Structure 1
Amino acid sequence: MRNSGGKKYVTSLLPLQLGKKIQEEISDFELSRALPGKVWFPDDAEYRAQQAEYWLRQEAKDLHPNCRVTPASAEDVANTIKVVVSTNSAFAVKAGGHSSVSGASKIDEGVTIDMSSMSRVEVAHDQQSVLIGTRARWLDVYTALEQYGLSVSGSRASHVGVGGYVLGGGFSWFSNQNGWTCDMVSECGVVLANGTVVLASYAHHSDLFWALRGGGSSFGIVTSFKLPALKHPQVYGGPIAFDDNELNSVFASFEKLNREAHLDVHSSGYLSFAYDQRHKEVYNTFYLINSRGEASSPAFAGFLRTPSRFSHLRKMNMSTSAMETNHSNDPGYRESKLTLTFRNDAALMCDIHSIFTYFAGTVDYEPEGRLAMTFQPLTASHIAHSDNALGLSAKDAPLILLSVELRWSSKSTTEYFEDVVRRFYETMRTLLEENEALHPFVYLNYAARWQDPFAGYGVESVQRMKRVRKMYGPDSVFDILQPGAFKF
């Protein structure tokens, strides 16, 4: 992630000799005048309440903006960005606040634009599409749609917010048949760097529309997404756990599920491991879903034939599944996260599991600390539906996307735990490189702050994104004044 470094001025209306404090006071005054009743300061109860509404402790506790703005419409966002730019104020934008990268959705001493008032979920009259505010959480979306017998391609975890998830790509239970969630978006409401409000789609601002799908937050502030509504009464699936002596069979079944995904695009799953401090062992969970609600999918045959120690498969609503997968995703901790992408290979999964088991046993955990990792299939059918900035090609698939999470509580131990994660990463990367299995793709939504997701998008995709950014934000507002987001 590239930080903007020293202070840079974009379209300054202020003499450079003005002190920082005066500049901040002018910014606060102008924001309060432009958005009366929607700007909050550290002495305000609303400010303190919003400060706590983050998934991870490093965002909730460590960063303290000068003020928080809560726009209620795209026009409010436009007025906010005009003031921010004219006063050269650094800012961050918070949608769901679920990022593990400190500073991605909150800023220290600048302006945090909190989109919490923009969480609508509106079903079109013909029930063919859904308009979703960027701050909605996926549980809100699923719950609102289930009364119509509908769903959308969205996050598998309930607490995740819509905005950042979609801009980074978005894994869903519908990815095999429809691609990333960003590929399903038909329209985005966007506020540009100059305060202009536009609707980006295939028909209008198509270059911007392409860049927003996977390109992150470097092009504007997205206020809403339109997605096609899916007729979707229930899914079938749930968690299964296996004894360690069955893992070779499980890895082989995972490799086959990934390789043969085109035979049943409605079935998918992910395989997770976590270290149990109390019993000093690694436990596993394979979570499967058939999006048609079919219990007899051949895609799951290998897993279901393997003796399990626990199984809770049944028909359920998407909201139930999303809440269930969120149980291992508790808020309130510090966390470091990373990701790697590699060749679909059961033997490599076994080797990575061995490395994980070794590292997990050497960590000096805090109470309730946890090390976990997840294998997710990145199938050819998933990538084949892609029309976005991510730079992936179906000819490289199937691939496995690995994510690793280490959580703790104390700020004073952050350096130690981040070093643990970095060493684990280097060990796994070396293994994959030695086996010529490492793929350059780094999934933006899972990347560590020291990883560079855009380096894996490919030169052509990055150059195109740069052209789009220059076209829609020639002053590089979202590159310079928004320092916490990933840059290219």
Structure 2
Amino acid sequence: MLSFAFALAGILGPIGSYATAGPLACSNITSQLGSSKVNTQKLSLKYHTSTEYWSTTQDAYKPSCIVYPTSAEDVSVTLKAIRVADSRFAVKGGGHNPNTFFSSVDEGVLIDLSSLSEKSYDPETTLATYQPGGVFGDIYDYFIKYNRTVVGARLSGVGTGLALGGGMSYLSPQYGMACDSFRELEIVLPDGEIVTASNTTNPDLFFASRGGGGNAYGVVTKYTVQSRPVGEFFAGIIIYAFPQKDTIIEAIGNFVRYNTDPKAAIIGTYEKLPTPDLNLNIDEAIIMFLVYDGPDPGDAFVNFTSVPHLISTTGIKTYPEVADMPVSFATEASRGNNIFRVGVHRADNDEYKNALDVWRNWAESNKGKYTLLSLDFQPVPKSLTDASKAQGGNAMQMPDGPWFWLNYLLTTPPGMSEPDYDAIQSSFRDMVASTTNAEGLPLFINDANRDQHPLSTFSTYEKLQGIKKKYDPDNFFADKTGGWSFD
């Protein structure tokens, strides 16, 4: 039976302007789902946990209520109630995206997907299913008992929404991006309809959902993906002091250009700390994440392992251990006032070295205004783009590798005044914008700031705009959440 508010809406239309929209939506949802699935107690531990984010700037936003759906039907009811009340809302998986209002909301409805956590494996088809609740570490732990895994995040604490934005994995050089392994998605559309998206059912929606941005076209409530075999990995972290920084940067460039072993994967992370330089270079280090699918990497990493270093944790690991590698210096592991920006560069020239110089100069000019500054090198080898194409491609329609993304991370001190915070963010934005990105290559949604408009760098942008209009014709998701722009 429809609640009074639903019935009244049939006469008056959306009634958010006649009452406080968030509380009204919460009341409607509670009447439909029951109080056990709706939390309005802002002082409760559960509420507090749901409003914690990797980027702590999002912690300040307090929803009118938090909904914990346990099925696609619950999500459908919730979206319909939000629409009737004309309320703002957000959908939260792992809460790792630092863009404001992408998974946070103030005085609206927060849909927390943590209770959607079922997983399964079919040994006959080798297909795996998982729901969006929890983090990839939980998923890896589940599938390892079958000697299988899925292509997902490189760190265990990252949520499943990463896959909708592409999803770079240590397995990507072999199997493509995380979204390339999708075989079927259960999606709740903006109007509340529950549909299946695959290559044969709603194929346009399926295409857009593979790397076209999380929660842009609906709420994914179940993933069916191609699982992958896993055994032992040679993996670990190597940390280098400042005298080796240029040697390692050169080794990263050579790896991007010349490595052809799809089992070998790296992330190179250049860290700058706020400590005074004193001409001693004690404020910087480079951390290499090295992962090989197999116990013997041969000479795949020799350009890194042969360089003098401070710390090495390399050795034989299981895949869950790879995702749990010691990450005290890794940017993704630390909550804070974090923000991402992204760049993209080709492997056949040295344009990235200009970006590196610009970044280094900015770091020196802004001492004391950050607690951590990081520049991450993320290779996209040809084996990755070939694997993507072999599975039908994704929303990026990735051009042939090799090329690479640069991820810029800025962590600012807590307690900064609003003018100081705005000034450093503006300066950081301008610094990244001043670097030269390669034409014809897509920006990586997972690492992009909203004002970079990453979707507009996709060759498929016009196609994605049409799909967005088809499945969200009145811009409900675009107007009521803080997601990617299709304008």
1:339 aligns with 2:342: yes
Change (3 A) 1:175 1:129: same
Q: Distance in 2 between matches of 1:73 and 1:361?
A: 50
1:81 aligns with 2:83: no
Q: Is the 8 A contact 1:251 1:350 kept in 2?
A: no
Q: Is the 8 A contact 1:341 1:439 kept in 2?
A: no
The equivalences for 1:84-163 within 5 A come to 84-126=82-124, 128-162=126-160
Q: Distance in 2 between matches of 1:287 and 1:131?
A: 28
Q: Distance in 2 between matches of 1:21 and 1:251?
A: 57
Q: Is the 8 A contact 1:377 1:399 kept in 2?
A: yes
Q: Is the 8 A contact 1:370 1:406 kept in 2?
A: yes
- Equivalent residue for 1:182, pick from 179, 183, 201: 179
Instruction: Give aligned-pair identity as a percent.
Output: 24
Q: Distance in 1 between matches of 2:20 and 2:239?
A: 59
The equivalences for 1:186-265 within 5 A come to 186-216=183-213, 217-261=215-259, 263-265=260-262
- What SS does structure 2 have at the residue aligned with 1:272? strand
The equivalences for 1:165-176 within 5 A come to 165-176=162-173
Q: Distance in 2 between matches of 1:12 and 1:249?
A: 68
Q: Distance in 2 between matches of 1:340 and 1:446?
A: 9
Report the more deviating stretch, 323-332 or 403-412.
323-332
One-letter code aligned to 1:141: I
Q: Distance in 1 between matches of 2:197 and 2:432?
A: 40
Change (3 A) 1:358 1:426: same
* Counterpart for residue 309 of structure 1: 310
* Counterpart for residue 464 of structure 1: 463
- What SS does structure 1 have at the residue aligned with 2:146? coil
One-letter code aligned to 2:56: R
Q: Distance in 1 between matches of 2:440 and 2:428?
A: 17
Q: How far off is 1:362 after superposition?
A: 3.1
* Counterpart for residue 5 of structure 1: none
Q: How far off is 1:464 after superposition?
A: 1.4
5+ residue gaps, structure 2? 1-8, 278-282
Q: Distance in 1 between matches of 2:356 and 2:422?
A: 20
- Equivalent residue for 2:402, pick from 398, 406, 409: 398
Q: Is the 8 A contact 1:340 1:441 kept in 2?
A: no
- What SS does structure 1 have at the residue aligned with 2:434? helix
1:32 aligns with 2:33: no
1:269 aligns with 2:266: yes
* Counterpart for residue 427 of structure 2: 423
* Counterpart for residue 56 of structure 1: 55
Q: How far off is 1:349 after superposition?
A: 4.3
Change (3 A) 1:326 1:115: farther
Q: Is the 8 A contact 2:15 2:84 kept in 1?
A: no
5+ residue gaps, structure 1? 1-10
Q: Distance in 1 between matches of 2:416 and 2:309?
A: 40
One-letter code aligned to 1:266: K
Report the more deviating stretch, 198-207 or 344-353.
344-353
Q: How far off is 1:271 after superposition?
A: 0.8
Change (3 A) 1:205 1:20: same
Q: How far off is 1:177 after superposition?
A: 1.5
- Equivalent residue for 2:377, pick from 375, 378, 381: 375
Q: How many residues align?
A: 465
- Using the size of structure 1 for normalisation, the TM-score is 0.88
Q: Which has the higher contact order (CA 8 A, sep 6+)?
A: 1
One-letter code aligned to 1:29: S
